[in-house]
Structures are given as structure tokens and as C-alpha cells.
Amino acid sequence: MSIILIGVNHKTAPVEVRERLALNDQACADGLRRLVDGEVVREGLIVSTCNRVEILSATTAEQIESGAGRLAQFLDAAASLPAGFLNNHLYRHTDEQAVRHLFRVASSLDSMVVGEPQVLGQVRRAYSVAVEAGTAECAMMLAGSAR
């Protein structure tokens, strides 16, 4: 299993682009249900705040490129942008780098204001939305076994 994270944030995209991508909880859940197909994109969650939109997903190592392409297409479509519009704004991390990035985000080390207290809650909420949408099963099992 491989992990891929793709997104935009305050460092890579102007506020006008980030505003078009901002998704509420319902839009995240609906989008995840469309995006996660159980084959290429096996699991996923979306972190959507005023300063970032990131999709974290699980795929197989063989499908990491097609998975990344699907995530990028999803973001273009979610913002009603032409295909490939976001390519110059997107960043991508895989496997260990994706997990490291998520921890930097959750701990607010990758924020406009380092130490911002609400970021961890936003990541936790993204996970809850994904669980409720049925797109984060493996993570649920891992969390349950860690208790």
C-alpha cells in the first residue's frame, strides 16, 4: 500500500485559487464518495481550510501515478477549473514524506501562523468526515488496534 498526498496551500497558490477550492464538510464527504473507487484510490480524506486543501489517499505502489492524476483532476473539477489548471500550484508527497507532511500540518508547523491551535482540530475533523463517508476504513482499523 502506498500513500499519496496532493494539495495547495498558502505557499503554492494565491488566495483566489484557494477560495475556489475550499470545501465544506458535506462537499468533502460527497467528493470522497466519488473519488474513492476501492481500486485506484482505495481510501481518502480531504483537509480543507482557508489556507489549504489537501487530499490524502491510499493506493497501490503500481497505481501511484494514476492515483495522483485522479486526485489532481478531482481538485480541478471541484473548483470548476479547466483540466490541469492547478498543476503549477499543486504539491505532492508520497509515502513517508506524505505522513511527515500531514504531521507537520496537524502540529501547525506548516501554517501561516506556526502554533495555530485550530489546525489539529481541522485535521481531526477531516478524518471524522472521511470515516463517516466510509472512505477511511484502514485508518479506522489502525486507530482501533492502537488503543
* pLDDT value for 138: 54
* pLDDT value for 145: 42
Q: Which CATH superfamily is domain 2-145 in?
A: Glutamyl-tRNA reductase, N-terminal domain (3.30.460.30)
CA 130 to chain centre: 10
Q: Kindly list the averaged pLDDT for each block of 10 residues, start to end, along the chain of length 147.
A: 95 93 94 93 94 94 94 93 92 96 91 84 93 78 42
List the domain boundaries for the chain. 2-145
Query: What's the burial of 38, exposed, middle or buried (CB within 10 Å: 0-12/13-18/19+)?
Result: exposed
C-alpha cell at 17: 485559487
* pLDDT value for 147: 36
Measured CA to CA, the distance from residue 75 to residue 95 in angstroms comes to: 20
The question of whether 28 is a catalytic residue gets the answer no
Choice among 1, 15, 50, 142 that is catalytic: 50
Measured CA to CA, the distance from residue 72 to residue 141 in angstroms comes to: 27
* pLDDT value for 105: 93
